[in-house]
Chains A and B, each alone.
Chain A
Amino acid sequence: MTEIVNKVKSIRWQYLMIIVMVAMVAVGTESCKSTGKMSRKEKKAQIEMYKKQLQEIVAGTSKLSLDDQQRLISEAVNKNFNDPDLNALIIQAQQKTKAAYAEIVKSQQQTIAGARTTLYDLLANKDNLSAEQLQTELNKVKALKIQDGEIDDLITRVQEKIDKMKLSGSAGPLKTQLESAFEGIAATAKAGNIATANTMIQGTISKYFTSESAPVLIIISKEGSVIDYDKPTTIKLYLEFIKDQKASRNNVDSYLQDDAGKIKELDLIKK
């Protein structure tokens, strides 16, 4: 017993107290850190900061990208400051960014629709452009860098058409060649050379068309999206018709070609 009392008496109590106090301070600091609580002053400053940035978003003067604006709004929501003014600004900013996103989508859709129309026009080559002119127009569409499967497919098709035109040489655009062939058959028939006209008909079919039964459509009226056609015919019957009537009354409006560059469908329009 006496030994135990002597041991207790030998402990340096002043050191022990210091160690305990240091430990308590350390524990106290650590517990403060884990709660993450801000002082009122800090909270007020953050609310003001968010308000300022949100006001800029609402006013449309924010220099942040739309994605960053959306991120900032999410941050403000997650902080849950419970400030009525800030909450009202959050709602306004959300509406603003939502409208901005909708505008972007609309604009993208318009760009895609415009590119689609241009590419279909280039495919049909209604303006009778040369391969070089078509390439220039196609490059303009390519420069838009549209990410859309249908547009990619159309770009490929137009490029193939241009490449074929470049390979086919200098006989002029197909539209002109066809119209010349039609005029030639009409003039030959008018001169009374029916046998020659028949030879020209066969030559035109074998040179330009997939077969003598390739469909031919004649547009008699175009009004907006409504197109009226004459009764569909075939290229053989149409060329014979030119011979019989001794006149070529229609121009080439558009055509579809197969992989070999032969016309598989022809659209004509009244002169």
Chain B
Amino acid sequence: MKKGIVLIIGFIIASGGLFAQKNDDNISPQRKQAIDSLALEKVRDLSKYISIIGDKKTQWSEAQRVISRAEELFMPGSEIGVSSLSRPEVTYYKVREYFDRLMQLNYDKVVIDWYKIQYVSDLERQPDGTYVGVITIFQRFQGYDQEKGLVYEDTTKKDITVYVKRKETQIGGRLIGFWDVLLGDIRVKETSK
């Protein structure tokens, strides 16, 4: 008899859990599309920040402010890969270090452009409710010398892991449901001239 009661309670708890999960998972295609776009937009925002940080005309204080904004886009502890045509290995730096190095690159002029920003792996819901996907980008890097002109350029394909999670907060007495998009590691996939 006791065993039966335990089984029934277990079944109720398990079915309740499944139901809750189903409700939470119930996102319409329109909402999903909005979340997909939001994550892509964050990557585009990052590309703008990177070009500002790399731009030698950007004032130091302005670059520091933009680095802080860019850093906020990432999960703590994330790394960004750096490659070069002159060496085969890829070096990974913590986000802050990457931006600091980017700001101090030994060129007179740096142009960084990201393009073909698209999903390589769609956002998929994980058991903890976080949506995880991978966005791929192509980066065109050009380093100029004042006298010699363009001295280095490459194109790198990079994969960026994105994490999206719904959170809630109180603003002016209102309960707001928002999607928190955070970027993970940026992995170098290939580098070419």
Check B181–A231 contact: CB distance below 8 A: yes
Q: Give the docked Cα–Cα distance between A245 and B177 (Å).
A: 25
15 pairs across A/B with beta carbons < 8 Å?
A194-B59, A217-B171, A220-B37, A221-B34, A223-B30, A223-B31, A228-B31, A228-B35, A229-B178, A230-B179, A232-B178, A240-B69, A256-B172, A264-B172, A265-B172
For the complex, is A81 an interface residue (Cβ under 8 Å from B)?
no
Interface size class of A (residues with CB under 8 A): 20 to 34
Is B74 positioned at the interface, with any CB of A under 8 Å from its CB? no
Closest beta carbon of chain B to A122's beta carbon, Å: 19
Question: How long is the Cα–Cα vector from A102 to B176 in the complex, in angstroms?
Answer: 36
Q: How far is the CB of A196 from chain B (nearest CB, A)?
A: 13
Query: Which of chain A's residues has its CB closest to B171's CB?
Result: A215
When distances are taken between beta carbons in the complex, the residues of chain B under 8 Å from A132 are: none
- Distance (Å) between the CB of B81 and the closest chain A CB? 24
Could you tell me if A226 and B31 are in contact, using CB atoms closer than 8 angstroms?
yes
Min CB distance B120 to A, Å, is 22
A245 touches B179 (CB 8 A): no
Top 4 A-B residue pairs of the complex, sorted by shortest distance between their CB atoms: A221-B34, A229-B178, A220-B34, A215-B171
- 1/0 per residue, CB under 8 A from A, across B51-77: the answer is 010000001001001100100000000
Nearest chain-B residue to A219 (Cβ)?
B34
**Residue of A194, A230, A240, A265 touching B178 (CB-CB under 8 A):** A230
Question: Which residues A110-157 have CB closer than 8 A to chain B?
Answer: none
- How many A-B pairs have beta carbons closer than 8 Å: the answer is 62
Chain A stretch 200-248: residues in CB contact (< 8 A) with chain B: 215, 217, 220-221, 223, 226-232, 237, 240-241, 244-246
> Chain A interface secondary structure, helix, strand, loop or mixed?
strand
Q: Which residues of A contact B66 (CB under 8 A)?
A: 244
Closest Cβ of chain B to A5, distance in Å, is 109
Query: Once the chains are docked, how many angstroms separate the CA of A74 from the CA of B76?
Result: 76
Given A221-B34, A246-B48: A229 and B69 within 8 A (CB)? no
Tell which of A232, A237, A240 touches B176, judged by Cβ atoms closer than 8 Å.
Answer: A232
A241 near B69 with CB under 8 A, answer: yes
Residues of B within 8 A of A223 (CB): 28, 30-31
Contacts A228-B179, A229-B178 aside, 18 further interface pairs with beta carbons under 8 A come to A215-B172, A217-B171, A220-B38, A221-B30, A228-B177, A228-B178, A232-B169, A232-B171, A240-B65, A241-B45, A244-B49, A244-B52, A244-B66, A244-B69, A245-B48, A246-B48, A256-B172, A264-B172
Q: State the CA gap A231–B31 with chains docked (Å).
A: 15
**Complex Cα–Cα for A226 and B35 (A):** 14
| B177 to A: closest C-beta gap in Å | 6
A162 vs B48: C-alpha distance when bound (angstroms): 41
